[in-house]
Structure 1
């Protein structure tokens, strides 16, 4: 459980490292204590493993700085063996990440249309 929480906090930290302004309000429940299955944008299965991460529109919700990208370290997701759904749409993510994710055998891609 601790490793999963640390990985989630590292994902949040990568957001903070990418932007010069405070992005903490975007994931206010992601804190260094408590049960990460109760955090916003995180769903767990009945055994308490993270099964879904809904990180859609984390950056572009408030911040539309097209000159910055989120250099998300995809290896942070290796701690989530039970992860079945990962939504990273509508974020400014480094293109090399997309290529890496595309090669993951456990990833199921669905067409993402505009809302």
Structure 2
């Protein structure tokens, strides 16, 4: 018996709708927040350990690396929150159709981009 299945699936040919991209992005930002939490816990533990530790964390956070970490963490948190609110609304029975689901996904992604740019300007 010969199975008719793809042997080498080219993932670049698959076109996901906006709702699928928003769902994957929600999962990715959840993982990103987990890894950002590792840095946050380290920075907190180091900063409260001694005056030198506080100075070290302060120097790191005032540099470019600290800006990228802070903006990345806040960006992931903001999308995860926006996507979470979208999922809660969908759980209540709204935006479940294909058109409204894609529209809400596009709005969530657009709002996330605006929030991230605003955070970048404020943190700068």
Same fold (TM over 0.5): no
Which structure shows the higher helix fraction? Answer: 2
TM-score by length of 1: 0.28
Which structure shows the higher strand fraction? Answer: 1
- Greater relative CO (CA pairs within 8 A, separation 6+): 2
